[in-house]
Amino acid sequence: MKLLLVEDDRSIADTLVEGLTAAGHTVTHVATGAGALAEHGYELVLLDLGLPDMDGRDVCRELRKRSATPIIMLTARSEEFDRVLGLELGADDYVTKPFSLRELVARIRAVSRRAVDGQPGSGDASGPQSIGPMELDRRTRRVRIGGDEIALTAKEFDLLAFLANDVGAVHTRTEILESVWDAHWYGPTKTVDAHVASLRKKLGDHAWIESVRGVGFRLEPPS
């Protein structure tokens, strides 16, 4: 896979380029936001937020305007607000430093697989699913509530579609990670919480996805 690595720390960049190349990827490295926006021909972006010339979140926003190419944010910012904001801007995943190369490779594999599965002509060919005022169409990967289309990232759609497979059922964080991310997931389960928080905000009502204390989450139409 052709990767674009946007990282201003040379030592981190060199280590990642070496490791990702050894894992079978072709890596183009740039150290600035401007450099990232000037590149073309990549299949996935690894984007550091702490860039010298512009905020990485602005780079993410601009890249998402141009295409649906998967974006994984790499950052030392671990607060939930930062994770949720990154996802709302269009990132498909969020990796908090420090992270292992093994974890990053697993996330690249999971995100890229989901992106391929989401291409037109793949996935469930049945008609849209109605859940209260929500209409979820797996074939076109579109979600509407009350007739208004909701813009979701690829991972947010995958999460929503997974929960919608059994409306009302409670799914554990581990089950969600293994089904929506990867069966060999190495990251924290808080990744699920960040995506749920972002998804709730976009759906317009916290009640769409209920937290079941100590267990996980369930999808139900708001009462």
Q: What are the residues whose beta carbons fall under 8 Å from the beta carbon of 11, sequence distance 6 or more?
A: none
The 3-class SS string of 152-169 reads CCHHHHHHHHHHHCCCCC
Among 197, 211, 155, 191, smallest CA distance to 78 is for 191
Q: How far apart are CA 89 and CA 113, in angstroms?
A: 21
Q: How many Å apart are CA 89 and CA 64, to the nearest integer?
A: 8
pLDDT < 70 regions, the chain: 77-83, 85, 113-126, 182-189
Output the pLDDT for position 139. 82
E runs forming strands in 69-133: 71-75, 93-96, 129-131
pLDDT of the residue at 120: 40
Cβ atoms 80, 193 nearer than 8 A: yes
β-pairing, 216-219 vs 209-212, is antiparallel
**pLDDT at site 67:** 84
Task: Return the pLDDT at 121.
Answer: 38
The full set of domains in the chain, from first to last, is 2-117 (3.40.50.2300), 129-219 (1.10.10.10)
pLDDT digits (tens, 9 = 90+) for 195-216: 999 999 999 999 999 999 888 9
How far is Cα 95 from Cα 103, in angstroms, rounded to an integer?
9
